[in-house]
Chains A and B, each alone.
Chain A
Amino acid sequence: MPKLSFPVGPQHPALKEPENLRFTVDGELVVDADIRIGYVHRSIERSCSERNYVQDLYLCERVCGICSNAHTLCYCMAVEKIADVEIPERAQWIRMIMHEFERIHSHLLWLGVAGYEIGFDTLFMYVWRDREVVQDLLEMVSGSRGHYAMPILGGVRYDITPEMETKIREGVAILRQRTEHYADIATTEATFIMRTQDVGAVSGERCRQLGAVGPVLRASGVDWDIRTVFPYLKYDQVQWQVRSSELCDVLGRTLVRVQEVIDACDIITQALDQMPEGEIQAKFPRKVPEGEATARVEAQRGELIYYVRSDGSDVPARVKIRTPTLANLPASIEMVTGGYVADIPIAFASIDPCFSCTDRMVVLDDLRSGDSRQMTWAELVKLGRGR
């Protein structure tokens, strides 16, 4: 009896790819934009109410692999507020050091990716090589290159030993020097400036109305940073300043981030100088007393806010998380609108979005021709790199 076989061919043409980014264009100009974020929904907030406070620490950490420490920090702050637990002094300093380490790793990561988006591959390679310095320091202190799990309810998990301190000072000195070099590139390298100046511009007033946060807001001239609005950890005891730029464009956002890396190096050094000896963990109740609280931190991407409600058990009644990227999405739409299609990747990347774009489908609806082009985000990036 002959075997029947059916060819498994390419997908049926009628099957539509789920598009996540839709741009209305007029030739090479973007007239409108729409972004959909529904595909990464992992039911985290509901899961938080089905796991205990300790388990939730590890769950919330994994909302984002790049902002993970900001999440654990903010979560701990909210729960500690409800439980009215004050964490030891030394733990606060260590938390601040980790918070700044993460700012460094994230901003350098962003700088490399931004370089890639505009075809500046050597910048990408050099920055990511230098970023390995902070990755090594993070691994030394916490045991991991990502998801360091350093803040725990009541304090921090590990201490910083004198040997580590020496290595941190050395590493931070290297990072500071290299980042000053990148600040130079951003301000003097013609190819970089050409692809970033006047690209993705949004005014400070518009950013404020739309609820934008972080470097996006500050690069449009608004001096707003949670570390000074709601001072937490030891930011009011070290010398640093809120960084902003009047440029309002991708170049401005680059300058703010690069400067924040340099500042982070200085904050870490001062923290090592000033932090006292002592305990790193306070006792924390398994059952959190009834209550509710919000906590905010200045994550590398901007304001991160947690709201937690406790019903007196060991499982939270509600954990609400608003990541900074969501706050910046409305502004990001205005950044790409009115610009060139080839500038979409770098303009959009300038908000430092916290979701992987690489496999997103992009649709370009052309007003003039009536055509609809579909491509992957990677293909759109290629357009931008070749410009």
Chain B
Amino acid sequence: MLDGIVKWARAKSPWVCHLNCGSCNGCDIEIVAALMPRFDLERFGVLLEGTPRHADVLLATGPVTRQIKDRVIRVYEQVPDPKFVIAIGTCGISGSPFYPGYNVLGGVDAAIPVNMYVPGCPARPDAIAYGALKLLATLDPEIDAVVKSIEAKYDTTGLVYTPEEMDDLRNQEGAAS
């Protein structure tokens, strides 16, 4: 019962913290745009918080480099459980085009577990909003209904990837090469 209330409270007003692992800032700008009136994630109660200690969701951009990896893990550890990570942007997913590079390890999941992937270079604000909502849909039936109505109206294939879908994609590409 308490579990359900915590879930509901979290889904009602998720606080997101933005972590730039070393991106070019392209996706960071689109994250801010996603919170601005035009795309308006704020209407779903999503608030941008400065510190990871108060966050529920970590929006992570950029490739993970040798020098930043420990810090990314430390920030992740500061986020209280239960926590979610959304990797945003192509370099957040794979490190590309910086990977391969002598100190680039890969995308965000080279350091921490990821719960949702939003591709794009930069990722679009609508895709970021959709990715955040899709994640929150697993916690809140109201948001789930919103997501379902979006999916009924638009073709959202490839807009975002769950970890399972990303694994499938990577396996396919691995098999192809």
Contacts and interface: CB of A to CB of B under 8 A. Distances in A.
A and B touch in the complex (CB under 8 A): yes
A64 B19 CA distance: 17
A359 B19 contact: yes
Nearest to A116: B32
B78 A355 contact: no
Nearest to A113: B32
Interface in B25-59: 25-30, 32-33, 36-38, 50-51
A62 interface: yes
By size class, the interface of chain B is 35 or more
Given A65-B122, A129-B36, A8 B77 contact: yes
Interface residues of A, number: 44
B121 A62 contact: yes
A145 B74 CA distance: 32
Contacts of A358: 18, 20, 28, 50
Contacts, number: 114
A45 to B, nearest CB: 10
B67 A38 contact: yes
Contacts of B100: 47
Interface in A137-165: 144-147
Interface of B: 18-20, 22-30, 32-33, 36-38, 50-51, 63, 65, 67-68, 71, 74-75, 77-78, 91, 97-98, 100-104, 121-122, 124
Interface of A: 8, 10-11, 15, 17-18, 38-44, 46-47, 55, 58-59, 62-66, 68, 109, 125, 128-129, 132, 135, 144-147, 354-356, 358-359, 376, 378-379, 381-382
26 contacts: A15-B74, A17-B74, A39-B22, A39-B65, A39-B71, A40-B22, A41-B22, A41-B65, A42-B104, A43-B103, A47-B97, A47-B101, A64-B24, A65-B26, A128-B32, A128-B36, A129-B36, A129-B37, A132-B38, A145-B124, A146-B122, A354-B25, A356-B28, A358-B18, A358-B20, A359-B19
